[in-house]
């Protein structure tokens, strides 16, 4: 049998064997004591990974889009003023999503490969009576990294709730949710969190929970409603059985394992490893003469890289060649630039060996 190819797309990624082992264990009852313990521990560890000691974690079956939806459904009421700061494809998604709940959205779009300047964001916050702002920490379509700390500070300064789309950043890029004053950080399991696709993960601040509690209108989405989910999270964390909708038992046990591994490594070491390997990969691509969608080093993500195809290289052929050399990478996603660039994910358990194998496969394909 030929060796399995290395999965280096920006999610799903390679997962640790001990995480995969949890996926193949016989499924427990969702009220079995061993599962209650796993669920409770996973919730507790989320606070540590998110660096949000007083945050309220939610673990729900679904993808990252559901995590975005959960935050929007619970915090938006019709006609609320919302600022969506977009650095690519997923910012547009958030604007569309929030409009479904009646949000009055102002959309700030960056130039391709850049962030929206902080002064522009600040001027907008100062001029409008915003309730909430969203930003994509790493937009997976452009590999642009937004300064989350600065965004959190602006949201605090103007007393605006903030939602960070961390689907491509949580557990890879540095996020200190509580210290940086970010109200909601949403993600999914299949990227740097290191669990197969299927979990929507959210941590909400006390302030966000209070805004939700004081809503004047009911939450316009049944499955997302925190009034149905909060008692479940509280029960499992209190090590009591509970039921609203059947939890994905094996995925949650896999999450418990992955969060353990993340915390064993330590958040600071983990952020640094992602930074170091991303730099290493970009240096190798630069040496091959490639340039990147992000316009400067300061806005380059550490969880993925988006290089332009070298001149005279056919994108489809390059991707095919890299695949034939044993590594799966991804094509472009941003509609206007789709055929001009490719994307390589390097997050989660990514190692020096993974980077070396990927670089070598790209070199082989270029030849």
Record the tokens describing residue 269, joined without a space.
């070491």
Which of residues 195 and 365 has its CB atom nearest to ligand PMP in the complex? Answer: 195
Look at residues 192, 203, 123, 125 and name the one whose alpha carbon lies nearest to residue 163. Answer: 203
Which of residues 36 and 133 has its CB atom nearest to ligand PMP in the complex? Answer: 133
Q: Which residue stretch of 162-170, 173-181, 224-232, 245-253 sits at the interface with ligand PMP (rule: CB under 6 A)?
A: 162-170
Binding mask 61-90 for ligand PMP (x = CB under 6 A): --xxx------------------------x
Using Cβ positions, the residue closest to ligand PMP within the complex turns out to be: 64
d(CA 302, CA 323): 23
Give the number of other Cβ atoms within 10 Å of residue 53's Cβ.
Answer: 10
State the nearest-atom distance from the C-beta of 64 to ligand PMP, in Å. 3
Question: What SS3 class is residue 299?
Answer: helix
Which of residues 35 and 101 has its CB atom nearest to ligand PMP in the complex? Answer: 101
Which of residues 144 and 209 has its CB atom nearest to ligand PMP in the complex? Answer: 144
Alpha helices in the chain (DSSP H): 17-24, 33-50, 64-75, 89-99, 118-127, 148-157, 206-213, 226-237, 249-265, 267-287, 315-324, 352-366
d(CA 291, CA 282): 9
- Which 298-337 positions form the footprint of ligand PMP (CB under 6 A)? none
State the nearest-atom distance from the C-beta of 9 to ligand PMP, in Å. 10
d(CA 161, CA 182): 8
Look at residues 348, 349, 340, 345 and name the one whose alpha carbon lies nearest to residue 358. Answer: 345
Size of site (CB under 6 A) for ligand PMP = 12
- Residue 167 near ligand PMP by CB under 6 A: yes
d(CA 334, CA 332): 6
State the nearest-atom distance from the C-beta of 173 to ligand PMP, in Å. 11
- Residue 136 near ligand PMP by CB under 6 A: yes
State the nearest-atom distance from the C-beta of 333 to ligand PMP, in Å. 8
Look at residues 240, 114, 133, 137 and name the one whose alpha carbon lies nearest to residue 192. Answer: 137
d(CA 146, CA 124): 17
Which of residues 140 and 258 has its CB atom nearest to ligand PMP in the complex? Answer: 140
Look at residues 345, 189, 341 and name the one whose alpha carbon lies nearest to residue 277. Answer: 345
State the nearest-atom distance from the C-beta of 79 to ligand PMP, in Å. 25
- Which 24-63 positions form the footprint of ligand PMP (CB under 6 A)? 63
Which of residues 99 and 363 has its CB atom nearest to ligand PMP in the complex? Answer: 99
Which of residues 89 and 308 has its CB atom nearest to ligand PMP in the complex? Answer: 89
Q: Which residue stretch of 132-140, 265-273, 285-293, 346-354 sits at the interface with ligand PMP (rule: CB under 6 A)?
A: 132-140
Which of residues 56 and 140 has its CB atom nearest to ligand PMP in the complex? Answer: 140
d(CA 200, CA 190): 10
Look at residues 203, 253, 264, 243 and name the one whose alpha carbon lies nearest to residue 37. Answer: 253
State the nearest-atom distance from the C-beta of 322 to ligand PMP, in Å. 20
Binding mask 168-197 for ligand PMP (x = CB under 6 A): x-------------------x---------
Question: What SS3 class is residue 252?
Answer: helix
State the nearest-atom distance from the C-beta of 88 to ligand PMP, in Å. 8
d(CA 26, CA 178): 37
State the nearest-atom distance from the C-beta of 167 to ligand PMP, in Å. 3
Tokens 């700390």 locate to: 149
State the nearest-atom distance from the C-beta of 11 to ligand PMP, in Å. 6
Residues in contact with ligand PMP by CB under 6 A are 11, 63-65, 90, 136, 139-140, 165, 167-168, 188
């Amino acid at each position: 049998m030929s060796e399995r190819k290395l999965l280096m797309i920006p999610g799903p990624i390679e997962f640790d064997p001990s995480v995969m082992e949890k996926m193949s264990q016989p499924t427990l009852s969702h009220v079995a004591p061993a599962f209650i313990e796993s669920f409770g521990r996973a919730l507790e560890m989320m606070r540590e990974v998110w660096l949000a000691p007083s945050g309220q974690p939610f673990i729900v079956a679904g993808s990252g889009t559901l995590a975005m939806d959960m935050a929007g459904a619970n915090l938006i009421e019709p006609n609320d003023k919302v600022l969506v700061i977009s650095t690519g494809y997923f910012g547009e998604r958030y604007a569309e999503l929030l409009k479904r709940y009646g949000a009055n959205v102002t959309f700030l779009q960056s130039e391709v490969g850049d962030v929206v300047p902080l002064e522009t964001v600040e001027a907008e916050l100062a001029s409008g009576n915003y309730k909430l702002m969203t930003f994509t920490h790493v937009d997976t379509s452009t590999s642009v990294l937004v300064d989350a700390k600065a965004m959190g500070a602006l949201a605090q300064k103007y007393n605006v709730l903030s939602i960070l789309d961390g689907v491509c950043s949580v557990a890879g890029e540095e996020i200190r949710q509580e210290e940086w004053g970010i109200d909601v950080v949403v993600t999914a399991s299949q990227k740097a969190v290191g669990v197969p696709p299927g979990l929507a993960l959210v941590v909400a601040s006390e302030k966000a929970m209070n805004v939700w509690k004081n809503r004047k209108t009911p939450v316009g989405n049944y499955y997302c409603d925190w009034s149905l989910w909060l008692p479940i999270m509280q029960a499992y964390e209190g090590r009591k059985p509970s039921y609203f909708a059947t939890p994905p038992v094996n995925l949650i046990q896999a999450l418990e394992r992955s969060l353990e591994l993340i915390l064993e490594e330590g958040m600071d070491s983990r952020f640094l490893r992602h930074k170091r390997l991303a730099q290493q990969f970009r240096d190798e691509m630069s040496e091959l003469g490639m340039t990147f969608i992000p316009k400067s080093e300061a806005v380059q993500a550490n969880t993925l890289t988006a290089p332009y195809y070298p001149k005279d290289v056919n994108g489809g052929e390059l991707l095919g060649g890299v695949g034939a050399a044993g590594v799966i990478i991804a094509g472009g996603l941003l509609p206007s630039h789709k055929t001009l660039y490719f994307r390589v994910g390097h997050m989660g358990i990514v190692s020096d060996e993974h980077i070396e194998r990927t670089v070598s496969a790209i070199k082989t394909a270029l030849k």
